[in-house]
Amino acid sequence: MVAALLGGLGLWLQWWWLIGVTAFLWLAFVAFFRDPLGRRPASAQPNDFTSPADGRISAVLPIDHHAAVDGPALVVRIFLSVLNVHVNRMPCAGTVVDVQHTPGRYLDARTEESAKVNESNLLRLRRADGLVIGVRQVSGAIARRIVCRAEPGAQFALGQRFGMIKFGSTTELILPRPDRARAHVQVGDRVVGGVTLLATLAGDRA
C-alpha cells in the first residue's frame, strides 16, 4: 500500500528517482519475506536432523549443559544475513513440549556474545521415540522481532514452517548426547532450511 502511494506520487510529480527508489525497496521487501516452495529434506531417516534455517554455519560445538535437553548437548549455530530466507523449519518431526521466550540485547548476530545475551526463543520438540531436542531463535542487531507460531502440544512434520526472525539473526539446533551426535557440517558451510543434513545421532547411519 505504501509502495503504491509513493509510486503514484512519484508518477504524478514526475519524480522518477522516487519511483526508482520505491521499486527497489518493494523488491527488497518481497525478497526478504520470500518463502520457497517444494523443498525436500536430504534425508528423512529417524535420527537425521535437517537445517532449521537458511544461512551459514557459525559454530558447531559440544557444551556441558543446555536447558533445552537438560544435559550435555551439541549446538549447531546458523547465521542468517539479510539476504537469506528467514523462514524457520522443523529439523525433525515431533510434538512441541514448550516455548520459552527470553528478553535480551540486540548485538550483532555474527558475534559469539550475541548467542548468549540477545533476545531469544527456545522451542523444545519431542520426537515419537521420546527424544527431546531444541531449536533456538536468536535476534540480531537489525532483527527486533522473533515470530514463532509453535505452541505446546502442536505436532509438526519434518521441514514444516514454524516461524521466522525478521532481518539478520541466528538459529540453533540443539541435540542431546553430543558423544553420540555426528555433525555433517562445519563452520563456514552454507545450508538450506528444510533441506541440508546437519547432524545424525550415532547408530542409525553408516
169 included as an active-site residue: yes
Residues whose CB is less than 8 angstroms from the CB of residue 100 and which lie 6 or more positions away in sequence, other chains included? 67, 121, 122, 123, 124
Host H or E run for residue 91: none
Beta bridge partners of 180: none
Residue 115, classed as helix, strand or coil, is: helix
Q: Which of 74, 60, 59, 71 is nearest to 174 (CA)?
A: 74
Catalytic member of 51, 58, 120, 169: 169
Q: Report DSSP state, residue 118.
A: B
Residues whose CB is less than 8 angstroms from the CB of residue 72 and which lie 6 or more positions away in sequence, other chains included? 62, 63, 64, 65, 66, 176, 177, 178, 179
Residue with cell string 522451542: 123
Task: Specify the pairing of strand 197-201 against strand 94-102.
Answer: unpaired
Which residues does the annotation mark as catalytic? 169
